[in-house]
Amino acid sequence: MKIASNTLLVVFVILILVVLGALKSINTKIDRIEEKVNDQGQKISALYGFVDSEVGLEKATQQKQQEKELGLKPVNEFDDAQYMSKA
């Protein structure tokens, strides 16, 4: 009877050690996944920053082009010939 209870205790202790080892392994894998997710998040943030700066540069270029076009256009105060002076 004593041998059966000792055997049961040993099996129980081994089972606890196996479960703890599995939990540690799972925890390690979760940590690695979190690292990868954080790295990917940083890369995505950097890409968004790059895209935002490119979009901002494109908008600024368009605005400069529009200003240049508007500045070079001759201003015609008289849209129609009927407003011309009778000089």
Residue 82, pLDDT score: 56
pLDDT of residue 55: 72
Q: State the Cα–Cα distance between residues 45 and 49, nearest whole angstrom.
A: 6
Q: Does residue 62 lie within any of the structural domains?
A: no
Q: Which residues lie below 8 Å from residue 78, measured CB to CB, with a gap of 6+?
A: 84
Residue numbers of the domain that contains 39: 24-57
Determine the distance from the C-alpha atom of residue 59 to the mean position of all C-alpha atoms in its chain, rounded to a whole number: 22
Q: Is residue 28 one of the residues assigned to a domain? A: yes
Fill in the amino acid letter for 37: V
Q: Is residue 47 part of a domain?
A: yes
**Residue corresponding to tokens 């008289």:** 78
Number of domains the chain is built from: 1
Amino acid 65 reads Q
Running along the chain, 87 residues long, what does each successive block of 10 average in pLDDT?
84 94 92 94 85 75 79 58 54
Do the beta carbons of residue 79 and residue 85 sit within 8 Å?
no
